[in-house]
Amino acid sequence: MTHHDKVMLLGHSDEYFQDKGMQVTIAFNHFGEGLVQRMPRCRHGYFHVVNNDYTHWEMYAIGGSASPTINSQGNRFLAPDNRDRKEVTKHEDAPENEWSRWNWRSQGDMFLNGAYFRRSGAGASSSYARASSLGVRPSTLVGTMTLRAGALICRKGAHC
């Protein structure tokens, strides 16, 4: 993905509590040049962000509001050169005494050029123990796994 401001929003709104049961996996993407934010932005629910390659963000890479659980594993984060944009995460519309209880964790991620992930909470709740079913590969393999990531190029009449 390249050249977008708001890349991916998961969840209807902070007030739409039905999304608490949402379980989403974001895997094997290359988030490249010209991206600003929301790779993804999450509301409520459980989000497994696994083996993605983040080579550009202008505001933040992974954000959330309404107390989502975010489990980041085996991703590669290359921070921008701007020293004020090194943080991967953004806790939207909540004071620290609230978002510090949200369950956001990072395991096996690679952080380059000063990138960092702000962890919070105690980890995923037991209700999500089975949700993280996608096997995680080491972050050192992310470049190879996402080398050909992108839109399919199909010829008219061909099945893709």
Do the domain assignments include residue 91? yes
Write down the pTM of the prediction: 0.87
Do the domain assignments include residue 25? yes
Do the domain assignments include residue 157? no
Q: How far apart are the first and last CA of the chain?
A: 19
Confidence of residue 133 (pLDDT cuts 50, 70, 90): low
CA-wise closest residue to 38 among 101, 82, 88, 108: 88
Do the domain assignments include residue 36? yes
- Catalytic residue numbers read 38
Do the domain assignments include residue 160? no
Do the domain assignments include residue 113? yes
**Under 8 Å between Cβ of 101 and 79:** no
pLDDT in tens, 6-63: 999 999 999 999 999 999 999 999 999 999 999 999 999 999 999 999 999 999 999 9
β partners of residue 111: 77
Domain count for the chain, please give it. 1
- Distance CA(96)–CA(51), nearest Å, equals 28
Between 74 and 155, the higher pLDDT residue:
74
CA-CA-CA-CA torsion sign (92, 96, 99, 103): positive
Do the domain assignments include residue 8? yes
**Structural domain for 59, as ranges:** 4-12+19-120
Contacts of 66 (CB under 8 A, 6+ apart): 11, 14, 19, 43, 44
Do the domain assignments include residue 143? no
Encoded amino acid at 138, one letter? P
- Cα angle at 38 between 93 and 101, to 5 degrees? 40
